[in-house]
Structure 1
Amino acid sequence: MIGLYVAGNSVLHRVPAGLKLLLLAIGIFGVLLLRRPWQMGIALLAVIALYALATVPWQTAWAQLRPLVWIVVIVASFQLVFAGVDRSVMVAGALVVNVALAALLTLTTKVTAILDVCQWLLRPFRRVGLDPDRIGLMLALTIRCVPLVAGIVSEVSDARKARGVIGLRGSVVALAAPAVIRALRAADAIGESLTARGIDD
């Protein structure tokens, strides 16, 4: 659900990464303060307006939220049973709004710009032994591995469908095992590449 940068020249694309990170934090905190379903509805409309302002294709926007659908359904159902309709709407709405805002940040901001801000924020901690550059590298690898792993799972799932295994039929292990093995191989390849460049700890 972490989007890849979509090139553009919208107002949101031109906002500095540091300011966008600050606004994201404020937005997430603000959503947590909402207390009424109608307020959450306004927040959802605001997010839709931001995506429109960013001129992000709707197919791309939906791709960020599609993996979240089942999580929202499960969470909303749980809250509906144990806490009522209003609470269910608020929790599910907050989840969708916050994930959508975070995805919008990555869709309109280059990863390098986000990492530069993170490294700048971590510079004061260099005095206590933290290496901002190394942490920035770790963040870059983490962000890169999200779509990598998602792609691996998608390829394994497509292979199962090609063999006639549709939906939830068959063992979950049949999907998880090859996906994990391929992910570990990819991790080994990345590790070897880093070692070859002198980064081995």
Structure 2
Amino acid sequence: MDRLIIGRYIPGDSIIHRLDPRSKLLAMIIYIIIVFWANNFLTNLLIFIFTLLTILLSQVKLRFFLNGIKPMVGIILFTTIFQIFFTQGGRTLFQFWFLKISSDGLSQAALIFMRFVLIIIFSTLITLTTTPLSLADAVESLLQPFAKFKVPAHEIGLMLSLSLRFVPTLMDDTVRIMNAQRARGVDFGEGNIFQKVKSIIPILIPLFASSFKRADALAVAMEARGYQGGEGRSKYRLLHWQLKDSIALLTLLVLGLLLFILKTG
């Protein structure tokens, strides 16, 4: 859990760090859309090279990314296995009872796996190079035009900021509770699957109690400082859209156009 990097911020002065957080959020939305247009070798190669270049520009070590994505690989593999066994078509490679592995199933599973990995890497890159407060300001700014439709832009930005802020804290609490339970003789790795699930209960109860206690303390602190919502509040951090933000989005749009042209089907 200590290797989980989602929600963490790495200070830096790279060109990715200096981009406006609004352009990063818009880029992430565009990226998630165009990654599903990559459905052959060439398009996947192009988006993979683009993602690798973005990581290099962020000056975040690739090893740090690979270690951080390891906890998510199990979930991705679990999802792609269904594609292998339940996607029919093409040449049959293996069959046992109702389980059948075909060439189309393997290719579809590979595409799903690649899409999950790329999306997780790119979204993690956003949080690694952008402070949670900046992300919250970006969300609030992008949702501001919808305020006339009673969309609580400030409250949504605040919830996002707090959620990202406390992800590492919850992970640290989980590790601390697990170490305390191990010191009391709990073994989280022994037994069958039901015993392993049962061993999680000594973690969840104190983790929920700690989370509620921290949320209550945070609410009291915000009220003590006179927090009354976003009405009439000024901004300490001002967002500035620059030429490099437009160039970054234009580059992503050009990549999306290439993927759309080169995709099959």
TM-score (norm 2): 0.66
- SS of the residue aligned with 2:16? helix
| 1:137 corresponds to 2:158 | yes
- Quote the offset at 1:175 in angstroms: 2.3
Spell out, residue by residue over 1:107-155, the C-alpha distance to the aligned partner (whole angstroms, 9 max, x if none): 1122232222222222223333344333322221121122222222222
Asked whether 1:14 is paired with 2:18, we answer yes
Given the alignment, which residue of 35, 54, 73 partners 1:50?
54
Change (3 A) 1:20 1:200: closer
Matches within 5 A, 1:88-167: 88-167=109-188
- After TM superposition, the structure 1 stretch with the greater mean CA deviation from structure 2, 45-54 or 23-32, is 45-54
- Could you tell me how far 1:49 is from its partner in structure 2? 2.9
Q: Tell me which structure has the larger Cα radius of gyration.
A: 2
Which stretches in structure 2 are left out of the alignment for 5+ residues? 88-104, 191-195, 230-265
SS in 1 for 2:17: helix
Is 1:195 paired with 2:199?
Answer: no
The 3-state SS of whatever aligns with 1:35 is coil
Superposed CA deviations along residues 80-102 of structure 1, whole A, max 9, x for unmatched, are 22121111111121111101101
Distance 1:187 1:17 in 2: 26
Give the structure 2 partner of residue 178 of structure 1.
206
Compared with structure 1, are the counterparts of its residues 42 and 165 closer, same or farther at alpha carbon in structure 2 (3 Å cutoff)?
Answer: farther
1:42–1:123 distance in 2 versus 1, CA, 3 Å: closer
Partner amino acid, structure 1, of 2:164? I
Counterpart Cα distance in 2 of 1:145 and 1:85:
38
Distance 1:10 1:199 in 2: 34
Q: Does 1:2 align with 2:6?
A: yes
The Cα of 1:43 is off from its aligned counterpart by: 3.0
Report the CA distance between 1:4 and its aligned residue: 2.1
Over 3 Å counting, the alpha-carbon distance change for 1:182 and 1:59 in structure 2 is farther
CA displacement at 1:103 relative to structure 2: 0.7
Q: Which residue of the other structure, out of 20, 26, 32, is the alignment partner of 2:30?
A: 26
In structure 2, the residue matched to 1:61 is: 65
Given that 1:65 and 1:100 are in contact with CA atoms closer than 8 Å, whether structure 2 keeps it comes out as: yes
Bigger helix share? 1
The alignment-based identity, stated in percent, is: 27
In structure 2, do the counterparts of structure 1 residues 160 and 70 end up closer, same or farther at CA, with 3 Å as the change threshold? farther
Does the 8 A contact of 1:5 with 1:107 survive in 2?
Answer: yes
TM-score by length of 1: 0.85
Tell me which amino acid in the other structure corresponds to 1:94: R
* Deviation at residue 68 of structure 1 after TM alignment: 0.6
